[in-house]
Chains A and B, each alone.
Chain A
Amino acid sequence: MNLSILRLSPLFLWFIAAVAQAQLHNELELEGKLTITGSDTLGAITSVWAEMLKERHPKVLVQVRAIGSAAAPTALVEGTADLGTMSRPMSAAEDRSFERRYGYAPIAVPVARDAIAVFVHRDNPLSSIVVPTLDAVFSSTRRCGHPQAVARWSDLGLSGPWASRGISLYGRSAASGTYSVFRQQVLCSGDFSPRVNRLVGSSAIIRAVAGDRNAIGYASAGYLNANVKALTVIGPGGQPQASLDRELYVYLNVAPGAPVSPLTAAFINLILSPEGQQETAKAGYLPLSMAEQRAQRRRLGLMDG
């Protein structure tokens, strides 16, 4: 047994050495741990922000858990996260459960704007769809008033080889804000059809739609690529539906009157800085205007940063 441990030791030494090397040594004032839990849509961009914060303050430790928007209020209420990222505003019930725990409401900071896109396989001839039909495609309740269920592409007016094909549906699992916003705005708060493939991430949806000719799916527009084709969603007035846009938020747990903790303040300052918003734009979202950035920072008392 002793011998075998000795044999292992070079490997162990390498491990220790590598670990030591990976540590950055820098002396800056800010240190501590920042845990961010929430939206999967915001996951990628949050990781980037976290990395930027890490570059500025190497002693700060940032952890990002991108599960879905519904995880953010839970984590804030349970106290398992410092910040919650959400791709939709908190619902009244979520707000209430927070208030019951802490006695005050959480603070929502809008950090970017995002559009939800509906898309099909790139061979699909369809180019636009109206909301009640889209509702009938994706829901089992058809609350937006489409008279009958839609199961085949012929029901959407396609002909030729497409007519007899069934429609495969792709969407997010329940935790995501994309899911909730789509449910409210397209399904008129009805229920998703159980036939929707619920995949664990937006890119998994794009990937699946790219590989399935019968597919129609929805995901954050930031994930679109050349493998799929986006549909124009037409609202009640015959115009492209604009309300499939939504704001993305970071939620804070700050007691009224109390200052924002320095770590959180540094992070929010970073997000609401031109550099942070530049990353937002690169990730495919619409950045906030300078005035909005300033207004948000003023609201949180972060103007000195």
Chain B
Amino acid sequence: MVSYDDAISRRRRFKDRAATIAINIAGWGTVALISLILVYLVSVALPLGLDAEVSPSFTWTVSGDEHPLIAADGETVVSLSAVEGARPELARVIDAFGVVPGASQIHVYRLQAESSAVRPERLTTVAPLVSLTLPAFRPESLAIDFAEDELEMVVEDLSGKLQLIALNLSASEPVISNRDSLQLRPDMRGGTLLPRMAGNEVLVVQGDRYLRWGGVQAAIFQAERIVGGQLQGVLSRVSAAALGPGGDSLQIADDDGQLHRFDLTRDQLPRLGGSRDLAMSVRVLISERARRVTGAISSDGELLLLQPASGDVLYRGYPDGLDADAQPHFSDEGHVLIQQGLRETRRWAIDNPYPETGIAALWRPQRLPGYDKAVHVWHPDGESIGVLSKYSLSPLLYGTFKAALYGMLLAVPLALGAAVYIGYFLPSRQRNQLKPALETLEAFPTVVLGFVAGIWLAPLLADYLLLILFLPVIGVGLPLLLSLGHAMLQHIDPRFSRRPPRMLLLTSSYAAALLCLAVFAPPPETLDQLTQSVLWDWFGLRYDQRNAVLVGLVMGIAIMPAMFSIMEDAIHAVPRSLSDGSLALGATRWQSLARVVFPAASPAMLSALLIGLARGLGETMIVLLATGNMPIMEPDPFSSLRSLSATIAIELPEAGSESVQFRLLFLTALVLFGLTFLMNTLAELFRQRLRYAYAHANR
């Protein structure tokens, strides 16, 4: 028997339990969500910091007439058909082409297999696409480069002449598009040949001497241009020379294990920074073409992978079977290291997905080709046109703080002043009207602020800069003047010591001042010339139209209300009894404010500063629309900036979800998250201190 009451109470109990469960789920769900954001951001950004790993993946044995060769994709393996006199172990591989030297012939193979999977047991045999005959040459001197369907080959023949052949491979039949030769001086013979199609030149390095044939950055190969010289700062014998990543730099290793870098985009071949100690006796240097990775192999088979510009070491170890004497090369994407030997063709898998995001590369200045000094460069978009990207987060972080701090410059005085007036001087009823009105500003859509700043204010600021810079003077000066006037009047007649109609007086005097400015302002051309001579010629400042001052002005409006709200709460929360007590004890109002109210409210003030700063750091639309998004690091008020948040907004939609840029942008989001979370937590702790301190006094 179940009584009616029992049924009811069971239902009630059930409902109660259901509610408890639902509430618990929601509560813990929220906690889980918060952690999920953090965990997810970290999980995407974390792989950026991983080191490289190298592991052997395949070895093919050369047998009789078969010589396996791996294309530059790292996946396609073919067997070269035996050709009389050819030296397959000296083969050079680039893109889908293999070039094999003979004694007086060069054989060009197209390395295409039926299946792209690595199948060691069934290799397709390919015959040469074309064989070119040259004067007898040193087979080891063969060097090649490839760009836009053109294959360039250089050898040094036995008479010390450079022989250059360029093949156009776009049509079905290869066509020789260029053929040239150059007699080397005896002291340059036997050097390393480095053809470089990006600069339309051939570089020869012999010892610490170099020769550039074809000129620098010419539109076409100019055979008559020859520049030679000595590499600066190389003190001991050169043991290896190679092009750096992307082919923009020359890298030299000497007998002391020092790595030297030279800028090939400049005529004089300037050094790129000091030398770097690789701590090994380097036998071979190789670099990836599409990423900033250099590999060095020592005579005892040690492999070092590093990011040469930043010096971040990615890997150091002894991969199984690495032969110090055979020439290795990276696959196009850097995921495979290949070595064609006399008896074996070996392939190592390199797990090195994010080589360019080491700590030094992201945050420290680097010497890069094309730049005259160490720089922080954010230029993450090289892949789409086939040049190296530069990922330096420093300018972005710098810009983020710059924007926020310039915003604080306006926001802090305004918020503080308004908080003191409304929280301390105003009677309660007026406070309840004014405070919400000011707080409404907080919700002002930032996209509108950014739009107004970018479209309307930017040209206005440029035209009327001096006048606008004068506005703060008016803003501060007028109240002080009025205060002085008030005191004077009191001196004349004590009747004036009654509370004056402050707001009315201020409003009218501000309006009058603005009107005066509007009426008596010189025309824009005069102002322009004046600004020109005062700011730019005197101080040597640079003026970008979308600058930090502009951002600060608008950002100040955006972050002021939040700060004001907290500050005002804090000042208002200081028990009236404290300040009244101090006044009763004979303190002046100033003393009471400065010694009693401010100290009591100071933790909350600090918390307001932190919260304002956090808001400024994360603001996106204003910075995106009101700055020129320049990744530069200059503290000047009139130079532009680029912030982390704006960078995310611009670049994330275009970044592929597997790309370095995608993960880097997640890292920047994580940095933003961390920064703001930290600041807000600190702010919260400060605020709680105040709350505890006055929890009882308020009752």
Of the stretches A26-34, A41-49, A164-172, the one at the interface is: A164-172
Task: Determine if A233 is an interface residue (Cβ-Cβ < 8 Å).
Answer: no
Indicate which residue in A91, A97, A188 contacts B217 across the interface (CB closer than 8 Å).
Answer: A188
Contact A141 B629 (CB under 8 A): no
Q: Check A93–B384 contact: CB distance below 8 A.
A: yes
A190-B370 contact in complex given A92-B386, A143-B217, A145-B216, C-beta closer than 8 Å: yes
List A contacts of B657 (CB < 8 A): 74, 78
B3 at the interface (CB under 8 A from A): no
Distance in angstroms between the alpha carbons of A266 and B529 in the assembled complex: 58
Partner of B544, one of A175, A189, A197: A197
Query: Is A194 part of the binding interface, using a Cβ–Cβ cutoff of 8 Å?
Result: yes
**Max count, chain A CB within 10 A of own CB: residue among B385, B542, B544:** B385
CB distance from B452 to the nearest CB of A (A): 13
Contact A175 B383 (CB under 8 A): no
Instruction: Report the count of interface residues on B (CB-CB < 8 A).
Output: 55
A245 at the interface (CB under 8 A from B): no
Inter-subunit contact A73/B630 (CB<8 Å): no
> Are B462 and A211 interface neighbours, CB within 8 A?
yes
Inter-subunit contact B455/A207 (CB<8 Å)? yes
Could you tell me the distance in whole angstroms from the C-beta of B632 to the nearest C-beta in chain A?
A: 5
Asked whether, in the complex, the Cβ of B370 is within 8 Å of the Cβ of A141, the reply is yes
Q: Does the CB pair A200–B656 fall under 8 Å?
A: no
B370 touches A143 (CB 8 A): yes
Interface bits A210-249 vs B (CB < 8 Å: 1, else 0): 0111110000000000000000000010000000000000
CA A190 to CA B650, docked complex, whole Å: 21
Encoded as 1 (CB less than 8 Å from any A CB) or 0, chain B from 605 to 637 comes to 000000000000000000011001111100000
What is the CB-to-nearest-CB distance from A224 to chain B, in angstroms, rounded to a whole number? Answer: 18
Complexed CA–CA distance, A174 and B462 (Å): 26
0 or 1 for each of A29-67: is its CB under 8 Å from B? (1 = yes): 000000000000000000000000000000000000101
Inter-chain contact A204/B454, CB cutoff 8 Å: yes
| Residue numbers in A under 8 Å from B290 (CB-CB) | 93
Is A180's beta carbon under 8 Å from chain B?
yes
Contact (Cβ within 8 A) A168 B544: yes
A212 and B640 alpha carbons, distance in the complex (Å): 15
Given the known inter-chain contacts A71-B653, A93-B290, A197-B630, please indicate yes or no for A143 contacting B265, CB distance below 8 A: yes
State the CA gap A192–B632 with chains docked (Å).
Answer: 12
Indicate whether B126 reaches chain A with its CB closer than 8 angstroms.
Answer: no
CB nearest neighbor in B for A77: B656
Please choose the segment from B202-210, B374-382, B428-436 that sits at the chain A interface, where 4 or more of its residues have CB less than 8 A away.
B374-382
A195 with B654: CB separation less than 8 A = no
A232→B628 CA distance, assembly (Å): 25
Mask of B34-45 contacts with A, CB within 8 angstroms, 1/0: 000000000000
> Which residues between 108 and 151 of chain A lie within 8 Å of chain B, taking CB atoms?
140-145
Provided the pairs A191-B390, A211-B462 are in contact, do residues A74 and B629 lie with their beta carbons within 8 angstroms?
A: no
Q: Beyond A212-B462, A236-B219, is A142–B370 a contact (Cβ under 8 Å)?
A: yes
Which of B387, B529, B542, B631: most chain A Cβ within 10 A? Answer: B387
Residues in B with CB closer than 8 Å to A197 are 544-546, 628-630, 640
- A-side contacts of B369, CB under 8 Å: 141
Interface string of A163-187 (1 = CB under 8 A from B): 0111010100111000110011000
| B458 lies within 8 A of chain A by Cβ | yes
A252 within 8 A of B: no
Q: What chain B residues lie within 8 Å of A179 (beta carbons)?
A: 381
Q: Which residue of B lies closest to A235 (CB)?
A: B219
* B537 at the binding interface (Cβ < 8 Å): yes
Interface Cβ pair total, 8 Å cutoff: 137
Contact (Cβ within 8 A) B370 A191: yes
> Is B385 a contact partner of A67 (Cβ separation < 8 A)?
no
* B470 contacts A by Cβ under 8 Å: no
B58: interface (CB < 8 Å):
no
Does B49 count as interface, using CB distance less than 8 angstroms?
A: no
Given A93-B383, A144-B217, A191-B379, the answer on whether A168 and B545 have CB atoms closer than 8 Å is yes
Tell me if A198 and B630 are in contact (CB < 8 A): yes
CB neighbors of B among A81-109 (8 A): 88, 91-94, 97
Residue B536, interface by CB 8 Å: yes
| A189 nearest in chain B by CB position | B387
Assess whether B478 is interfacial by the CB under 8 Å rule: no
B459 close to chain A: CB less than 8 A: yes
**In the complex, what residues of B have CB within 8 A of residue A161's CB?**
529
* A288 close to chain B: CB less than 8 A: no
Contact residues of B: prevailing secondary structure: loop
How far, in angstroms, from A144 to B216 measured CA to CA in the complex? 9
Contacts of A73 on B, CB cut-off 8 Å? Answer: 656
Given A73-B656, A174-B380, A180-B384, residue A166 in contact with residue B628 (CB < 8 A):
no
Contact of B536 among A145, A166, A190 (CB under 8 A): A166
Whether the pair B543, A166 counts as a contact (CB closer than 8 A) is yes
- Tell me how far the C-beta of B356 lies from the nearest C-beta in chain A, rounded to whole angstroms: 15
Rounded to whole angstroms, the CA-CA distance of A183 and B383 in the bound complex is 12
Q: Is B371 an interface residue (CB 8 A)?
A: yes
Which chain B positions have C-beta within 8 A of A145? 216-218
A276 within 8 A of B: no
Name the B residues within 8 Å of A192 (CB-CB). Answer: 379
Chain B nearest CB: distance from A288 CB in Å? 24
Q: Is the CB of A68 within 8 A of B265?
A: no
Q: Are A74 and B656 in contact (CB under 8 A)?
A: yes
Q: Is the CB of B370 within 8 A of A199?
A: no
Please give the distance in Å from B415's CB to the nearest CB on chain A.
Answer: 30
B367 to chain A, nearest CB (A): 13
A70 within 8 A of B: yes
The reply on B655 being an interface residue by CB < 8 A is: yes
Q: Does B532 contact A (CB under 8 A)?
A: yes
> Considering the chains assembled together, what is the distance between the CA atoms of A197 and B216 in angstroms?
29
**Mask of B359-377 contacts with A, CB within 8 angstroms, 1/0:** 0000000000111000101
A192 to B371, CA, bound (A): 12
A214, chain B: closest CB distance, angstroms: 8
A208 contacts the other chain (CB 8 A): yes
The 4 closest A-B pairs by CB, nearest first: A197-B628, A141-B370, A211-B459, A174-B381
14 inter-chain pairs at a CB distance below 8 angstroms, sorted by A residue, are: A67-B654, A74-B657, A91-B386, A92-B386, A140-B371, A141-B369, A141-B370, A168-B545, A174-B380, A175-B650, A198-B629, A198-B650, A212-B545, A215-B545
Extra contacts, 20 of them, besides A198-B650, A211-B462 (Cβ < 8 A), are: A69-B384, A74-B656, A93-B290, A93-B384, A97-B656, A97-B658, A141-B265, A173-B650, A173-B651, A188-B217, A190-B265, A191-B370, A191-B377, A194-B395, A194-B630, A194-B631, A197-B544, A197-B545, A197-B546, A200-B650
